[in-house]
Structure formats: C-alpha cells, structure tokens
Amino acid sequence: MRNISFKNVFSERNRKILFGSTKLGIVAILIGFIASICSELIADLILFGTLEKYINFDKVVLVIENLSATLFSIGLLSILFNTFQYAKFLNLVETRFNEIVNKELPPEIKNIKNQGITDIYDNLDTNILGKRLWKIRDRRVKVLKIWMPNIESICPAIIDAVNNRGCRFHVMLLDPISQGAIDARVESLKDSDSMTSNYIKEQIRLNEERIVGLLDHIDEDKYDQLILKSFTSFVSVSLFGFGDTYWVGLYLRNRLATNGMIFKFESAHKPRFGEIDRHFKTEWKEAKLNELYIKKLKSLNVSESSIEKIRKLECNG
C-alpha cells in the first residue's frame, strides 16, 4: 500500500514535464551544435565563390552563428534549471501542499497523523524490508518477533550493512523452550492445521541458526554489531524498526503478525513512537543472550569478557 502524499501525486504527474523540458534543452543544444557546423560548411562554400553573387554569405553565416549560440545557451540553461531548481521548487510546493492538506483534514485523521501513524499495510513484505536494509547507513535495526518468516531474503543485506555501512542489529526471538508462550500462540492459530507447537519451535530454531550463522560472514571486530537475544514471555506485537521508523504487527487470532495489520510509525518525537521504542528497550533489557549465539561466539574465539560486554550492551538510539 503506497502513501498518498505530495511526492506520489504531484511528482508522478509532473515527471513528464521535467523530462520533456530537459529533452527540449538537449534538442536545443544539438540544433545549436548542428547550426554551428552548418555555418562552417557555408563558410567553406564561400571559398568556391560560385554562389556568392546570388547570396550574401557573410550575413547568412553571421545569422546561423548567432542562432546556434542562442540555441546552445537556451538549451544549457534549461538543463541547468531542471537539474538544480526543480527539486527545490518541489520542496517549496510540497510544504505549502502539506499545510493546506493538514488544515483541511478531519480531526480524526489529524489525530492519527499526530500519533505518528503514517501507513497501514496488509502484510510485511520481507523483500521490501530487504531493499530498505540495503539503503540504510549508521542505523540500529531493532527486531522483536516470535520468529521471522522468509528471513533468508534479508540476510545478505544484514551482512553488508554490518560490514560496510556501520549498522547494528539487535534481534529478539521467542525462546523455543518457552512452552507456555508457544502454546498460547498455537491456541490463537488453532484454525491452521500446520501451526503446531513443534512447527513454531522448529521455525524459531531455524531463525536462530540462520542469524548465528551470519557471524561467519561478519568482520571479526564487528561481532557485537549483530546481537541475538531470547525472550520468554508472550508479546502482543512484533516490531521491526530503524532510525525514526517502526513497523508494528499485531499477533491476532488465525493470522501471523507479518500477514495482517502492519502499522507504520514515523517521527521519533511523536508520543506513540516513543512508547513503542521504550517497549522494545524494556524487552531488550529483560531478554537473555541467546545460548546458540554465545556458543558461536566462543567457537570464534571471542573471550568471556567480550561476551559479557555484549551481554550488557544497551539498545539506545
């Protein structure tokens, strides 16, 4: 589901105008260039003198040269304007556009926007998340889920983000030995024949193995940039966030959190965003460092003192 915003409505309609005017500028430059060449050809013809008594070649050459210089200048200025001024123009119009829309919005819609909700999705597409992860830099990515379906699609982006773009990943999954929490989720998904206790445990363990396995591809000095913890109590929401954005899924009956009612919260200064972020930090503080993650660190010759430092790392920012 796309956001209905100025950029989606206005920019798409006017993209043709932008490209069209730029094309005209390029055409003007080409015509000017061709006209300049023609003037040289005409100057060469003068040397033969065969037509000089019929046509004033000096004036023709002068006109063509002036025309070519004018067209070249117009074309260059047109391209420069589109390159440097169009984005600024859009920003100015967008500001005014948003002011008008906010003024005319019904109170209910204003309240939703003021709480930081910017969109609602039918599902959380991990492929789209993967694309977003390829673009971020110097961000802390926060994940709170029972388990992540299709986790493989975002693994390459995680590795690159940690190694090359200064990102940190703080991931929390349900502990597969938390039988009470798993039974509660199975009960809420009882209409699904495949959603058994053993299935959920298997999915969690597969997630753990996949995430822990990423350490083999992460630089030795950046192991603490990918941390996996386990929580034991049942949570009511799934969270995936970085920067000033959170995607919040609800654990509803007969629907996986990624397959229904995903709320997108933006703007860190909004009150609801702060509540969500505090919820994640509270869960992070209570969660335990994943046992499989600890074993993997030890197999990579990470010292006990370094593991203890990772254990005590707070999730700030």
Residue type, 209: E
Instruction: Say whether both 85 and 121 belong to one domain.
Output: no
Beta strands of 175-225 (E only): which ranges?
none
Contact 111, 88 (CB under 8 A): no
Contact 143, 290 (CB under 8 A): no
Is residue 144 included in any domain, yes or no? yes
* Domains of the chain: total: 2
Instruction: Say whether both 197 and 276 belong to one domain.
Output: yes
The dihedral formed by the CA atoms of 262, 266, 270 and 275, expressed in degrees to the nearest 10: 50
Instruction: Say whether both 49 and 178 belong to one domain.
Output: no
The pLDDT score that the predictor gives to residue 86 is 59
Instruction: Say whether both 20 and 152 belong to one domain.
Output: no
What distance in Å separates the CA atoms of residue 301 and residue 317, rounded to the nearest whole number? 29
Is residue 215 included in any domain, yes or no? yes
Instruction: Say whether both 131 and 242 belong to one domain.
Output: yes
What distance in Å separates the CA atoms of residue 108 and residue 106, rounded to the nearest whole number? 5
Instruction: Say whether both 26 and 124 belong to one domain.
Output: no
| Tens-digit pLDDT string for the chain (317 aa) | 344 444 444 444 454 554 555 555 565 556 655 655 555 555 555 544 554 554 555 555 555 555 556 655 665 666 666 655 556 656 666 676 666 656 655 665 556 666 778 888 877 777 888 888 999 999 999 999 999 888 999 999 999 999 999 999 999 999 999 998 888 888 877 766 677 889 889 999 999 999 999 999 999 999 999 999 999 987 878 899 998 889 998 877 766 766 667 888 887 777 788 888 999 999 999 999 999 999 999 999 999 999 999 998 877 65
Instruction: Say whether both 231 and 270 belong to one domain.
Output: yes
Strand-pairing partners, residue 142, are 170, 241
Is residue 298 included in any domain, yes or no? yes
* Residue 97, both tokens: 């556009």
Per-position DSSP letters for 60-116, written without gaps between them: HHHHHHHHHHHHHHHHHHHHHHHHHTHHHHHHHHHHHHHHHHHHHS-HHHHHHHHTT
pLDDT tens across 132-157, in order?
899 999 999 999 999 988 899 999 99
Residue type, 132: R
Is residue 264 included in any domain, yes or no? yes
Instruction: Say whether both 151 and 85 belong to one domain.
Output: no
Instruction: Say whether both 76 and 141 belong to one domain.
Output: no
pLDDT tens across 31-84, in order?
655 655 555 555 555 544 554 554 555 555 555 555 556 655 665 666 666 655
The pLDDT score that the predictor gives to residue 253 is 73
Phi first, then psi: what are they for 191, rounded to 5°? -75, -10
Is residue 290 included in any domain, yes or no? yes
Residue numbers of the domain that contains 41: 6-89
Contact 252, 260 (CB under 8 A): yes
Is residue 99 included in any domain, yes or no? no
Instruction: Say whether both 141 and 290 belong to one domain.
Output: yes
pTM over 0.75: no
Instruction: Say whether both 156 and 48 belong to one domain.
Output: no
Instruction: Say whether both 83 and 122 belong to one domain.
Output: no
Give the CATH number for residue 137: 3.30.870.10
Is residue 1 included in any domain, yes or no? no
Q: Which residues of 223-242 are buried (b: 16+ CB within 10 A; e: fewer)?
A: bebbbbbbbeebbebbbbbb
